[in-house]
A and B are shown apart, each in its own frame.
Chain A
């Protein structure tokens, strides 16, 4: 196998809160190359926390421990601020789950994208602006020059998500962690945005970690899928074999999906089994 892009071994993340310690991630491992990894799983199972730990963005009340945590052969444990500055944004980037929260509310969307490009490539204003407009157009924004000058509160939910994606993509990272990047997009736009990500993986050799609740989408789009429950990976599958999952949690999850071709009086729900929290 080629040199792995990411190696995570036995990752643990816990948070101290007023009342107790929350063990958000409990022993996650992943070795990945230039491929599309899907992460699905229960709300609160540790998907976003895992992504943020990989990028060194765990908040101060959190504690990260791992046997190995590597990006492109470099140990990320104990990396200093200077080290992170070289990696983050430029080489590894993350599209956060709440786009409006991650965008700067007092700066126009276009300027944020242009600045992201300008910082990484030392480009002049005009060039950065052109790049930003092209990036907005690439993510299917209808009227890029209008949207360039809008503030985050003036764009729709899906436009905010696409602005975030555009901002990460202008930096051409080697690893993109995309946390629910298309949940606010209608399926026609979603499909075109995914096609861009697909191309970056296929042509530029980017690695993609794609966190999503959309099981059908992950099955069709990704190469491999990790299923998380209670801070652990309970199952890893080839994406194309997701429908043949074995773990009762994954099976139950598939069963909860509403289907256009199947009318139901009530949706099926999941009976959670405490044993899913334990063991291998």
Chain B
């Protein structure tokens, strides 16, 4: 039997108020397992505002600061500056933000944090929509997905535009470390977060966090959905360290993207040719990733 590499310590308490099967809760759980208790988390308006449990309770066994939705990048800079000024060493500062709070309204402060070189980890948990406000499209919603603001019906086929490539945007800032992660592959995620913890400077994680109510699948299938995202090459696991790309999970025979789409109600309306177009887009994106990997090797 393979040795379990996941730390036993739980820093997310079981009393949190996430929905059953919430990928965002797992993302926090694994990130904190990798980082340990000497961590401060700053969280913008998002599902995590609620998951963290209301006053006067808290679901985390580490300090948590709330910040407005677009300012996570600035909040981590302020926390780090205070720790430095007050001579507090050995703490990891983490911004833990949703996709909307990162790729849309928070893109500026993320860019600022990366550019000014803040010594902190920014985790974007990606549930591919504004979930806390009730499943509206974000720049990170994949094309053709149903959301409440990209309804399906008449001529409308869901979201028209492709998903914003946040990893490319982040990589263009040349941070010391950036990686994708998936709650369905905790060993990979935890290994990367632990590696990032040992580095200093700005570090970024794009973590896929499936959302049962938002993606319209049954809560017990979160891991299955998450696994398929990676096993189809739709959400490849890789890292970018000092501009060098490395795929951390290679799939010899990727499954058809249709297997992933089929499980989710948000893609229920897709026609055969639309599934084929998504399959093509996934393959093209993966080829670009391979090219980046070999070009930077």
A and B from one complex? no
Residues of chain B touching chain A, judged by Cβ–Cβ distance below 8 Å, are none
Binding site for B on A (CB under 8 A): none
